[in-house]
Structure 1
Amino acid sequence: MNIQNLIRPTIKALKPYSSARDEFQGVTDNMVFLDANENPFENGVNRYPDPQQGKLKAMLSEIKGISAKNILLGNGSDEVLDLIFRAFCEPNQDNIVILPPTYGMYEVLANLNAIGIKKVNLDADFQPKVEEILNTADANSKVLFICSPNNPSGNSFTTEAIKTLVSNFKGIVVIDEAYIDFSNAESWVSKLDQYPNLIVSQTLSKAYAMAGIRLGICYASTEIITVLNTIKPPYNINELTQNKAIELLNIKDLATNQIADILKERSALISELKSISYISKIYPTDANFVLVKVDDANKRYNQLIEKGIVIRNRTTQPGCENTLRLTVGTPKENKILINILQGLKTL
């Protein structure tokens, strides 16, 4: 596959903006910086941040076992996804393929960028209908979005299904792995060399407990990363975000221990949910949340709100009628949730 044929002509012809910090990348010690029109009085944030986030990428490179040249960082994963639209999808001409129920921002970003949307609903087990997906795609289908582990269902897609889709889809395939750290499944980051059209997006918002700093991660071939770097804002990751991410990633075993605690609590929560009479199904999950089917999702959602518990009502999503999505909380929070659920009467 020739990735160059998928890039929008205007993007291929674009000359990227060159910031002051892009133009000078030498040794910074004892240098006097009078190039970027910054306020010279030091306060920790008076200088522009590293536009390529070198220190942070080096840490992620070591953690994930992939070259920093294959990494692009975004202001949350949503910026990464938006950059993919801008790079590969021609407005009012191209389309994307999504697999509902899935992460809602794919559709929002498509609409913002004037991109068509083709939908192929997951099957009853929340697995992709591979043949139908490939048959639905046409010559203008530039990106296929695969969310695995999937949101809101929580399950991972089979390796064989994803492999077939990545191998046969004629455009870019984005595998959204926001919840991969809670799963036993292997990340597709390890397979980037095998599939030139593959992009894997991850985040520090979930397993790494950094939702507040807004840091999304894109892993792809150097060819794709070069394209996305061409169109990203010059200083898209601010200094505070970079420093906080480095600080927390430096704490040995912090994320690993928290993930273990969440998985332990997830198992305990599922065990308790089985005793709730009006919960008719607990869906398999590889994420830090559990999707459950109840007798009346709207009523149960409102009852929980009245008791001070905020969850997500997913009943309007395809295949999710009367379902609620419950995030795994702390042991105390989970106990409060179970006590309230047990106290609600059967309809």
Structure 2
Amino acid sequence: MNININNLLRENIKKLVPYSSARDEFKGEAAILLDANENAFGSPLASNYNRYPDPLQLKLKSKISQIKGVPTNSIFLGNGSDEAIDILFRAFCKPGIDNVIIVPPTYGMYEVSANINDIAIKRVNLTPAFQLNLEGIAEAIDEKTKIIFICSPNNPTGNSINRDDIETVLSNFNGLVIVDEAYINFSKQRSFIQELLEYNNLVVLQTLSKAWGLAGLRIGMAFASPEIIDIFNKIKPPYNINEASQILALEALENIDKVNNWIKETVKERELLDKMLLALPFVQQVYPSDANFLLMKASNPKDIYNYLVELGIIVRDRSSVILCENCLRITVGTPEENKELLAALQNYQKI
């Protein structure tokens, strides 16, 4: 699939002259930097953060490029994936005119960001098996539909979306298809970043918040054609990833073996937790998961949630979400945390 990205862009973005920061105009090393009105004396910290960071995070992108096998000019780094989602709306969707498609139940930020940007939302619910309703999506698309959001593995259901179905959407839609892979590290499915050369309307979102354990640093990743990445960089704030986050992320990316071991342990614990939860009499179903959490259907989810809160164990009540009625979402914890959770639930059935 090869579409004209420029035709999707809002006119004001086509004409936008991006802000040129001091670090855009001078790149490199110098003995005396008097161009950016920084504090020349340093920082009141053990390390100095008085200089503005690299606005394009090139060292960090280079390391990510080595790990992901994607060229640096196909990588955007944002303040969480939420920044990338927001930029997509601001770049490609005209407020009050255009619309996007989401496939509930799904990650809630797509809808929130659409509402903030005054973009209409078309909802095409997943099937009862939590897969795409391809006919429904095809019927929902009109000439004002600019973006389709697909989360795979999906949040809050945990399952991966059928790959052939996603490719069907990519091949037949003349807008952007966003495949959000925040949980891809826990899945046996291969990432869609391998398909970037085949589909220029594809944007893949990933994050350092989940498997990499860097949620506090707020670093999201978007992978797309260089043309789309250039648009992201044109719109983003000049210094959207701070220096401390860039340094710490680079350090973390050197520890890929540790992260891979955590992923293996998480998957092992997920399988054990699945089995143990199903043995509880009030648990009606535990849905298959390719993520680091399980969606559990129970006969009395609100009571279970409140009971666990009293014990200092916090899970997520998803009962009000479409197709997730009577469900709790449970993150896979450490072996010790999972044992405490299971012990609490086993005691609950005795009450």
Q: Do Structure 1 and Structure 2 share a fold, with TM-score over 0.5?
A: yes
1:208 aligns to what?
Answer: 212
- Whichever residue aligns with residue 33 of structure 1, its letter is L
Separation of aligned partners in 1, 2:231 and 2:350: 55
1:94 aligns to what?
Answer: 98
2:16 aligns to what?
Answer: 14
- Whichever residue aligns with residue 82 of structure 2, its letter is D
**1:323 equivalent in alignment to 2:332:** no
Shift in Å at residue 61 of structure 1? 0.2
**Could you report, residue by residue, the CA deviation over 1:82-134 in whole angstroms, capped at 9, with x for unpaired residues?**
01111101001111100000000000000000000000000000001012102
Separation of aligned partners in 2, 1:225 and 1:292: 38
2:189 aligns to what?
Answer: 185
**1:123 equivalent in alignment to 2:118:** no
2:34 aligns to what?
Answer: 34
2:263 aligns to what?
Answer: 259
8 Å contact kept, 1:166–1:195: yes
1:234 aligns to what?
Answer: 238
Shift in Å at residue 289 of structure 1? 0.1
Separation of aligned partners in 2, 1:325 and 1:245: 28
Separation of aligned partners in 1, 2:41 and 2:77: 28
2:347 aligns to what?
Answer: 343
Shift in Å at residue 167 of structure 1? 0.9
Separation of aligned partners in 1, 2:33 and 2:124: 53
Separation of aligned partners in 1, 2:221 and 2:347: 42
Separation of aligned partners in 2, 1:339 and 1:80: 40
Shift in Å at residue 299 of structure 1? 1.5
Separation of aligned partners in 2, 1:166 and 1:318: 25
Change (3 A) 1:137 1:252: closer
Shift in Å at residue 174 of structure 1? 0.4
**Could you report, residue by residue, the CA deviation over 1:222-253 in whole angstroms, capped at 9, with x for unpaired residues?**
00001111000000000011011011111241
8 Å contact kept, 2:8–2:146: yes
8 Å contact kept, 2:98–2:119: yes
Gaps of 5+ in 2: none
1:60 aligns to what?
Answer: 64
8 Å contact kept, 2:79–2:218: yes
Separation of aligned partners in 2, 1:278 and 1:320: 16
Separation of aligned partners in 2, 1:171 and 1:209: 33
**What percent of counterpart residues are identical?**
52
- Aligned to 1:193, what secondary structure does the other structure show? coil
Shift in Å at residue 186 of structure 1? 0.6
**1:303 equivalent in alignment to 2:316:** no
1:130-141 matches, within 5 Å, as: 130-141=134-145
**Could you report, residue by residue, the CA deviation over 1:271-324 in whole angstroms, capped at 9, with x for unpaired residues?**
211211110101000000000100021121111111211000111111111000
2:285 aligns to what?
Answer: 281
- Aligned to 1:292, what secondary structure does the other structure show? strand
8 Å contact kept, 2:196–2:202: yes
**Could you report, residue by residue, the CA deviation over 1:116-153 in whole angstroms, capped at 9, with x for unpaired residues?**
00000000000010121021111111110000000000
- Aligned to 1:175, what secondary structure does the other structure show? strand
8 Å contact kept, 2:286–2:297: yes
- Aligned to 1:194, what secondary structure does the other structure show? coil
Separation of aligned partners in 2, 1:295 and 1:159: 33
8 Å contact kept, 1:202–1:218: yes
Gaps of 5+ in 1: none
8 Å contact kept, 2:281–2:349: no
- Whichever residue aligns with residue 245 of structure 1, its letter is A
- Aligned to 1:100, what secondary structure does the other structure show? coil
Separation of aligned partners in 1, 2:138 and 2:113: 22
Change (3 A) 1:339 1:95: same
Separation of aligned partners in 1, 2:154 and 2:350: 30
Separation of aligned partners in 1, 2:240 and 2:163: 34
2:248 aligns to what?
Answer: 244
1:143 aligns to what?
Answer: 147
TM-score normalised by L of structure 2: 0.97
RMSD: 1.0
Aligned length: 345
TM-score normalised by L of structure 1: 0.98
- Whichever residue aligns with residue 145 of structure 1, its letter is F
- Aligned to 1:201, what secondary structure does the other structure show? strand
